[in-house]
A and B are shown apart, each in its own frame.
Chain A
Amino acid sequence: QKEVEQNSGPLSVPEGAIASLNCTYSDRGSQSFFWYRQYSGKSPELIMSIYSNGDKEDGRFTAQLNKASQYVSLLIRDSQPSDSATYLCAVPEINFGNEKLTFGTGTRLTIIP
């Protein structure tokens, strides 16, 4: 059974600071990793995907992947109140492309003005 683990939080970060969200996964063969943002009562919204070891930056967001440690993280720089949401880590099952995602429980992030 594939596992995706996240600290459920809540994680509180002052506005303007860096928020760091972490995710570990159990399947060593996993190749693709996604971060989704979910506002309360809304659908998951893709914010980052990462496939290779190292860092990937997109605006204020940076995804970091370490396959040896089976660890993927998301950094949010210059945090804004609008970043307050639950952040979901998702990992596809091997041999299913990206269609059968296993989601973590999500980390609830609150940005404090």
Chain B
Amino acid sequence: EPEVTQTPSHQVTQMGQEVILRCVPISNHLYFYWYRQILGQKVEFLVSFYNNEISEKSEIFDDQFSVERPDGSNFTLKIRSTKLEDSAMYFCATTGGRNSPLHFGNGTRLTVT
């Protein structure tokens, strides 16, 4: 069964540094999303991306965050100037249609020290 692939599985970074989290969507999927889950808390929507632009973002997704699909393959989440509270699991999710269920990648655990 096709999978959403995320790299790295674990990223440790120092406060103030920039990180890029990568996702390879399922090949025929057109809609891409980032969610995050702080340890012990709910899974939270961050952003949705379709046709090379953001279609919706949450209040969490401020100027510190950006997304792009630079090469038509990878879908990336960039976090500038990381803060301690950015430590979380970040999940990429994709779907072939807006009314189809989401398929989640295995996640990247981000630890900011």
Q: Which residues of A contact B (CB under 8 A)?
A: 32, 34, 36, 41-46, 49, 88, 90, 96-106
9-residue interface stretch from B14-22, B71-79, B80-88, B103-111: B103-111
Rounded to whole angstroms, the CA-CA distance of A36 and B97 in the bound complex is: 19
- Of chain A, the residue at the smallest CB distance from B31 is A99
On whether the beta carbons of A44 and B45 are closer than 8 Å, the reply is: no
Q: Sorted from nearest, which 3 A-B pairs have the closest CB atoms?
A: A97-B98, A43-B104, A103-B43
A41 → chain B, closest Cβ, in Å? Answer: 8
In Å, the complex CA distance between A54 and B99 comes to: 20
Contacts of B45 in A (CB 8 A): 100-102
Chain B hits for A34, CB < 8 A: 101
B44 adjacent to A99 (CB under 8 Å): no
Tally of A-B Cβ pairs under 8 angstroms? 59
B residues apposed to A, CB below 8 Å: 31, 33, 35, 41-45, 48, 55-56, 89, 91, 95, 97-107, 109
Contact B106 A98 (CB under 8 A): no
Tell me the interface secondary structure of chain A in the complex.
loop
Q: How many angstroms between the C-alpha atoms of A44 and B44 in the bound complex?
A: 12
B101 touching A98, Cβ below 8 Å: yes
Does B107 lie within 8 Å of A42, measured CB to CB? yes
Distance A100 CA – B102 CA, assembled complex (angstroms) = 10
